[in-house]
Amino acid sequence: LFTAVEMAPRDPILGLNDQFNADTNPNKVNLGVGVYFDDNGKLPLLKCVQAAEKAMMDKPTARGYLPIDGIASYDSAVKTLVFGADSEVVTSGRVATVQAVGGTGGLKIGADFLKKLNPDAKVLISDPSWENHKAIFTNAGFEVGTYKYYDAANRKVNFDGMLADLNAAAPGTIVVLHACCHNPTGYDITAEQWAKVIEAVKSRDLVAFLDMAYQGFGQGLKEDGAVIGKFVAAGLNIFVSTSFSKSFSLYGERVGALSVVASDKDEAARVLSQLKIVIRTNYSNPPTHGGAVVSAVLNDAALRAQWEEELGEMRVRIKAMRQKLVDGLKAAGVKEDMSFITTQIGMFSYSGLSKDQMMRLRSEFGVYGTDTGRMCVAALNSKNIEYVCKAIAAVV
Ligand code: LMR
């Protein structure tokens, strides 16, 4: 049965974890996967999460099946966070939100639903994009192309190219957009540029699928999520996948969501019924723990305030590490001006290093980033930064 089965390539991001774990270099540093570590190199267990879990343990409950679309209080908390409690789309009931198995799960539910809805549509993702975008939409049966995004020579967004590609897309094309903290480049577009993107989506009759996995890691929760409100204000039917993996440091709990903005309450109910079929035929219904924790935190004023504070601390530490990286690279002898690192935003820095340089970083120094030159700045700390800077200086 399996004689003709070929060995699949390792995952470009998660596959690096296996290599990292097997590496015996005592100085190794994992800047591959997008995970936040604190200044001691530890994965944080947020205090708000601990408090919610303690309350749950004090009153243990059995684990029945969840509804197919997840915990109702979780779904409504997601809606409030993503669209705002007073937003017309929420109060009128025209958003269909389902709990998903991480942000990836949200993308996959949306992709499967879109394939049924519009099987001939093409999908456009940014060039470059998170590697799994292409894989998810390809596996859902779509032809996936790209729109221009990164201008490597000038280390900025090629916005004219992006807009031209969107304006040349066929009506119905699904456009995957990074709501904030672009993965992998770390370059976001400005508010004025978003307005032009929204205009293009509207005039070309495109379908916007916003991936928001890093809300709160750019400028702040509100600021990072502002773009969603702009799409809504333009009267567009949009898809939004969200994730609490990073913002709650709950990576392994797979807590995410998909929200679809429909035209009215009745349409939203019909969309929801279809999303439930996608979920039921894939994994039946979501797991309980992560959703229950996030719901408990977001629906309690004190815990929610604590969460925002903890998220803010992560955001501020990442920004500080960006500056330390720029300074450290200079001190280590890198001649090139690396100050672009501080103009990037979110967890990642697209370093501009080649695949060969990234491989040397791994093999000679145990410093792991992706082949594309992406490094997770959120894994740098006051103890490993000098080593990383010296390693980079040695390969550039
Ligand atoms: C990343 O880009 O490193 C993260 O989103 C983790 C993942 O699933 O790839």
pLDDT in tens, 360-376: 999 999 999 999 999 99
Residue 8 placed within a domain:
no
The tally of CA atoms less than 13 A away on the side-chain side of residue 228 is 32
pLDDT band at 7 (very low <50, low <70, confident <90, very high): very high
What residue type is assigned to position 340 of the chain? F
Rounded to the nearest angstrom, the distance between the alpha carbon of 59 and the centre of ligand 1 is: 34
pLDDT band at 2 (very low <50, low <70, confident <90, very high): very high
pLDDT digits (tens, 9 = 90+) for 290-305: 999 999 999 999 999 9
Q: Which of 75, 112, 211, 224 is catalytic?
A: 211
Q: Which of 115, 246, 307, 324 is catalytic?
A: 246
Is residue 369 domain-shared with residue 290, that is, in the same domain?
Answer: no
- Choose one of 256, 278, 300: the last residue of a domain: 300
CATH code assigned at 27: 3.90.1150.10
Instruction: Assess contact for 243 and 106: CB atoms under 8 A.
Output: yes
130 is catalytic: yes
Rounded to the nearest angstrom, the distance between the alpha carbon of 231 and the centre of ligand 1 is: 25
Closest CA to ligand 1's atom 5: 34
Is residue 370 domain-shared with residue 258, that is, in the same domain?
Answer: no
**Which percentage of the chain shows pLDDT scores above 90?**
100
Is residue 284 domain-shared with residue 322, that is, in the same domain?
Answer: no
pLDDT band at 82 (very low <50, low <70, confident <90, very high): very high
Is residue 186 domain-shared with residue 132, that is, in the same domain?
Answer: yes
Residue 110 placed within a domain:
yes
Strand 374-376 to 156-157 pairing: unpaired
User: Average pLDDT of 95-112?
Assistant: 98
211 is catalytic: yes
Residue 9 placed within a domain:
no
Can you tell me the distance from the alpha carbon of 191 to that of 175, in angstroms, rounded to the nearest whole number?
Answer: 18
Closest CA to ligand 1's atom 6: 34
Is residue 309 domain-shared with residue 291, that is, in the same domain?
Answer: no
- Choose one of 243, 266, 300: the last residue of a domain: 300
Is residue 227 domain-shared with residue 335, that is, in the same domain?
Answer: no
Tokens of 198: 């929204």
What residue type is assigned to position 145 of the chain? G
Is residue 383 domain-shared with residue 294, that is, in the same domain?
Answer: no
Q: What's the confidence (pLDDT) of residue 185?
A: 97
307 is catalytic: no
Report the chain's mean pLDDT, rounded to a whole number.
97
Can you count the helices (H) and strands (E) in the chain? Answer: 14, 13
Rounded to the nearest angstrom, the distance between the alpha carbon of 34 and the centre of ligand 1 is: 5
Closest CA to ligand 1's atom 1: 34
- Number of domains forming the structure of the chain: 2
**pTM: predicted TM-score of the whole model, two decimal places:** 0.97
- Contact residues of ligand 1, CB 6 A cut-off: 13-14, 33-34, 130, 132, 183, 213
Tokens of 208: 């916007």
Residue 51 placed within a domain:
no
Q: What's the confidence (pLDDT) of residue 22?
A: 96
Is residue 238 domain-shared with residue 130, that is, in the same domain?
Answer: yes
Is residue 135 domain-shared with residue 183, that is, in the same domain?
Answer: yes
pLDDT band at 271 (very low <50, low <70, confident <90, very high): very high
pLDDT band at 58 (very low <50, low <70, confident <90, very high): very high
Q: What's the confidence (pLDDT) of residue 214?
A: 97
Is residue 85 domain-shared with residue 121, that is, in the same domain?
Answer: yes
Rounded to the nearest angstrom, the distance between the alpha carbon of 49 and the centre of ligand 1 is: 21
The residue whose CB lies within 8 Å of the most ligand 1 atoms, and thus the one to mutate among 36, 125, 130, is: 130
Instruction: Assess contact for 370 and 388: CB atoms under 8 A.
Output: no
Q: What's the confidence (pLDDT) of residue 156?
A: 95
The residue whose CB lies within 8 Å of the most ligand 1 atoms, and thus the one to mutate among 33, 125, 242, 243, is: 33
Strand 255-261 to 95-101 pairing: antiparallel
**Which percentage of the chain shows pLDDT scores above 70?**
100
pLDDT digits (tens, 9 = 90+) for 327-348: 999 999 999 999 999 999 999 9
Is residue 24 domain-shared with residue 170, that is, in the same domain?
Answer: no
pLDDT digits (tens, 9 = 90+) for 116-147: 999 999 999 999 999 999 999 999 999 999 99
Q: Which of 75, 79, 130, 165 is catalytic?
A: 130
Q: What's the confidence (pLDDT) of residue 78?
A: 98
Q: What's the confidence (pLDDT) of residue 118?
A: 96
Rounded to the nearest angstrom, the distance between the alpha carbon of 250 and the centre of ligand 1 is: 13
- Choose one of 249, 274, 300: the last residue of a domain: 300
Can you tell me the distance from the alpha carbon of 382 to that of 390, in angstroms, rounded to the nearest whole number?
Answer: 14
Is residue 23 domain-shared with residue 72, that is, in the same domain?
Answer: no
pLDDT band at 202 (very low <50, low <70, confident <90, very high): very high
Atom of ligand 1 nearest to the CA of 104: 8
DSSP state of 208: E
Domain region containing 214: 65-300
User: Average pLDDT of 80-99?
Assistant: 96
Nearest to 238 by CA among 225, 250, 248, 220: 225
Rounded to the nearest angstrom, the distance between the alpha carbon of 184 and the centre of ligand 1 is: 9
Strand 207-212 to 174-178 pairing: parallel
